[in-house]
Amino acid sequence: MKRYVAELQRIAFEKSSNMFTQDQLYNTFQGMQLRGITGGFMAFLDTLNHQNFLLKKGPRTYQLSVVM
């Protein structure tokens, strides 16, 4: 999970925005080939949302909320 959030932070810094669409998050998820993630991508997003790494801002839109 920390590796994924770190990658999102890198992307957010590059694009000067901490807002992500669900598609952008999914593409990053797929590109990282994460292992040990159970329940699929949406369950992973829900976990990140509940742990306040990502904040759901609207339909299919999330805000990265942490700085590691």
What is the pLDDT averaged over residues 35-46? Answer: 84
Q: Where are the domains of the chain?
A: 2-64
Half-sphere exposure of 45 (CA within 13 A, CB side): 21
Nearest to 39 by CA among 27, 24, 29, 53: 29
Q: Write down the pLDDT at residue 17.
A: 94
Q: Write down the pLDDT at residue 36.
A: 73
Q: Write down the pLDDT at residue 54.
A: 95
Q: Write down the pLDDT at residue 67.
A: 59
- For 1-38, what is each residue's pLDDT tens digit? 889 999 999 999 999 999 999 999 999 998 887 777 77
Q: Which residue has the higher pLDDT, 38 or 44?
A: 44
Q: Write down the pLDDT at residue 24.
A: 96
